[in-house]
Amino acid sequence: EPEVTQTPSHQVTQMGQEVILRCVPISNHLYFYWYRQILGQKVEFLVSFYNNEISEKSEIFDDQFSVERPDGSNFTLKIRSTKLEDSAMYFCASSEAQGPTGSGANVLTFGAGSRLTVL
């Protein structure tokens, strides 16, 4: 079964440092997403990405965050200057379609997550 791969599985960083989280989406998927989940809280949408640009972002996704698809396989989330409150599990997801085309709604396949700990 195809899967979304995320690296690293766990990263510890100092406050103020830059962090890059990497994801390899499923190869024939066209839409990519980042979510985060603070320990004990719900899964929060950060951003969706299609055709090399951001298609939607939440209010959480402020100027300290950026996403990039540097090549044909990787999808990255960069946090420029980490804060203590950025400590969370970050999930990457991908989907074939984003709903309006064809039948059904988009179905996301999530990776196992990258746990970020900011000290």
Partner 1 sequence: LAKTTQPISMDSYEGQEVNITCSHNNIATNDYITWYQQFPSQGPRFIIQGYKTKVTNEVASLFIPADRKSSTLSLPRVSLSDTAVYYCLVGRRALTFGSGTRLQVQP
Binding site for partner 1 (CB under 8 A): 4, 33, 35, 42-45, 48, 56, 89, 91, 93, 98-100, 104-113, 115
Rounded CA-CA distance 82/17 in Å is: 6
Kindly state the helix (H) or strand (E) to which residue 76 belongs, with its residue range.
Answer: strand 75-79
* For partner 1, the closer CB: 66 or 109: 109
C-alpha 13: how far from chain center: 18
Rounded CA-CA distance 116/114 in Å is: 6
Minimum Å gap between C-beta 89 and partner 1 is: 7
Minimum Å gap between C-beta 51 and partner 1 is: 16
* For partner 1, the closer CB: 11 or 44: 44
